[in-house]
């Protein structure tokens, strides 16, 4: 073989790889970084209720990217859950995800040259990945296969190869699922499947990463709901859901609010202010431990404490009434610690 022929063969073998490396970042698959194109991406989850009814939902607000070293992260604002039905969204936010405490879910993983270094040549490949998934302040490492497709030199798709099964017990979400079942009067399978299709765009050299979504955004800025004041139906439905959360806490035997109640009460105030024509009743309830008289006094004091907090934070006092019912209206038998906890509660109701 002549020198010219050998040179031509070497060029034919090396040039495509060299060009691919240039397209993906001057010899590095991930440099200078890739930003998630949220308009062209989606993340969905599927649940099964009533034994065989499949429901598919999604999220409207998320962000993420891959840095120059291959560290990838996606942040999903859970207040943006979209089930296509307003009050179902509210149930998911307050009862299941408890977004007033845990506003975001995150996905993070480390990508390597071994995984994707040849993508510029093969254009499409399926790779196994392990990633950390955090929701409700619980992090678990999960494994799945993803399909990476280099659509152009500047656009790559990363999609689930098959639905990923999530066991709710692994993330301490079974009790929240029970609240959801009771509120909707349905049975729900305690697993969900997740699918995703993420589109990443190569970042221009020297350009900053796209800003991440802010987890402290108010629900009204993220949730898919009507702007401004709520309708009568929406108000009544929301107060019924708020009464089921169980996220108002007091010191034992006391009417003093615990600071852990503040995130939830902040969300309550937002809803009350968006139902300006409604008068709000704050009702206190106890379990059966102790005398009837002491429970009556405690329920009244706790209801008054919540009402006072709402008024101290901008809700007009002429709209708020408090009442204690003691142990007279249990929602469960007082035969276990769990049931007694359910009976110790604050409920909200509204009237025009």
For residues 317 and 261, membership in a common domain is answered with: yes
Contact 186, 178 (CB under 8 A): no
Q: φ, ψ for residue 218 (rounded to 5)?
A: -65, 145
Question: Rounded to whole angstroms, how far apart are CA atoms 15 and 121?
Answer: 10
On the question of pLDDT at 239 being above 50, the answer is yes
101 in a structural domain: yes
On the question of pLDDT at 115 being above 50, the answer is yes
**Residue 265, token pair as written in the block:** 């009460």
Q: φ, ψ for residue 346 (rounded to 5)?
A: -115, 130
pTM exceeding the 0.85 threshold for the entire prediction: yes
211 in a structural domain: no
pLDDT at 268: 96
For residues 183 and 108, membership in a common domain is answered with: yes
CATH number of the domain where residue 277 is located? 3.30.1330.60
Range of the domain at 57: 21-202
pLDDT at 124: 97
C-beta pairs of 264-269 under 8 Å, 24+ apart in sequence? 264/100, 264/101, 265/306, 265/309, 265/310, 265/313, 266/100, 266/313, 267/94, 267/100, 267/219, 268/242, 268/310, 268/348, 269/310, 269/313, 269/314, 269/315
For residues 333 and 238, membership in a common domain is answered with: yes
Q: Which is higher by pLDDT, 212 or 114?
A: 114
Taking Cα atoms as reference points, which of 154, 199, 211, 206 lies closest to residue 36?
A: 199
34-38, 130-134, 314-318, range with the lowest pLDDT:
314-318
212 in a structural domain: no
- pLDDT range class, residue 19, cuts 50, 70, 90: very low
Q: Which is higher by pLDDT, 64 or 19?
A: 64
pLDDT at 218: 64
For residues 131 and 279, membership in a common domain is answered with: no
pLDDT at 298: 97
On the question of pLDDT at 17 being above 50, the answer is no
pLDDT at 79: 95
On the question of pLDDT at 23 being above 50, the answer is no
For residues 57 and 164, membership in a common domain is answered with: yes
- The mean predicted confidence, pLDDT, of the chain is 90
For residues 88 and 174, membership in a common domain is answered with: yes
- pLDDT range class, residue 21, cuts 50, 70, 90: very low
pLDDT at 220: 58
pLDDT at 14: 41
- pLDDT range class, residue 11, cuts 50, 70, 90: very low
84 in a structural domain: yes
pLDDT at 167: 97
2 in a structural domain: no
pLDDT at 219: 66
For residues 247 and 173, membership in a common domain is answered with: no
For residues 173 and 248, membership in a common domain is answered with: no
pLDDT at 252: 85
Per DSSP, what are the bridge partners of residue 165?
Answer: 193
For residues 241 and 333, membership in a common domain is answered with: yes
For residues 52 and 141, membership in a common domain is answered with: yes
Region 213-218: mean pLDDT is: 70
Question: Rounded to whole angstroms, how far apart are CA atoms 334 and 315?
Answer: 34
Last residue of one domain, picked from the residues 186, 202, 218: 202
pLDDT at 10: 40
For residues 171 and 275, membership in a common domain is answered with: no
On the question of pLDDT at 95 being above 80, the answer is yes
What domain count does the chain have? 2
Q: Which is higher by pLDDT, 19 or 273?
A: 273
pLDDT at 52: 94
Region 92-99: mean pLDDT is: 97
On the question of pLDDT at 324 being above 70, the answer is yes
Region 106-133: mean pLDDT is: 95
Per DSSP, what are the bridge partners of residue 80?
Answer: none
249 in a structural domain: yes
CATH number of the domain where residue 67 is located? 2.40.128.110
For residues 275 and 338, membership in a common domain is answered with: yes
8 in a structural domain: no
Region 34-40: mean pLDDT is: 96
**% of the chain with per-residue pLDDT over 70:** 91
7 in a structural domain: no
């Amino acid at each position: 073989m002549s020198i010219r022929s050998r040179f031509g063969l070497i060029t034919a073998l090396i040039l495509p790889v060299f060009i691919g490396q240039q397209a993906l970042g001057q010899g590095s698959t991930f440099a200078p970084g890739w930003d998630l194109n949220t308009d062209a991406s989606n993340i969905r989850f599927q649940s099964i209720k009533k034994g065989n009814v499949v429901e598919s939902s999604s999220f409207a607000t998320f962000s993420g990217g891959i840095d120059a070293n291959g560290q990838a992260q996606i942040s999903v604002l859970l207040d943006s859950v979209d089930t296509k039905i307003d009050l179902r969204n509210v149930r998911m936010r307050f009862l299941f995800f408890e977004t007033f405490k845990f506003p975001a879910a995150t996905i993070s993983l480390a990508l390597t040259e071994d995984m994707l270094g040849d993508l510029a040549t093969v254009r499409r490949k399926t790779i196994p990945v392990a990633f950390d998934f955090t929701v409700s302040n619980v992090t678990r490492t999960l494994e799945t296969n993803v399909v990476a497709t280099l659509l152009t030199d500047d656009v790559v798709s990363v999609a689930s190869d098959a639905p990923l099964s999530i066991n709710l017990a692994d993330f301490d979400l079974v009790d929240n699922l029970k609240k959801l079942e009771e509120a909707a009067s349905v049975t729900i399978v305690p697993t969900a499947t997740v699918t995703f299709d993420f589109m990443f765009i190569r970042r221009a050299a020297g350009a900053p990463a796209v800003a991440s979504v802010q987890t402290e955004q108010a629900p009204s800025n993220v949730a898919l709901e009507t702007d401004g004041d709520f309708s009568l139906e929406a108000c009544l439905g929301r107060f019924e859901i708020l009464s089921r959360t169980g996220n108002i806490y007091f010191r034992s035997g006391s009417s003093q609010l615990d600071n852990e109640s503040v995130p939830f009460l902040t969300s309550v105030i937002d809803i009350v202010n968006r139902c300006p024509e409604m008068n709000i009743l704050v009702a206190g309830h106890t379990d059966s431990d102790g005398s009837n008289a002491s429970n009556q006094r405690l329920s009244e004091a706790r209801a008054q404490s919540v009402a006072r907090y709402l008024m101290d934070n901008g809700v007009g006092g002429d709209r708020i009434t408090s009442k204690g019912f003691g142990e007279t209206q249990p929602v469960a038998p007082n035969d276990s610690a769990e049931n007694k906890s359910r009976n110790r509660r604050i409920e909200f109701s509204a009237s025009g």
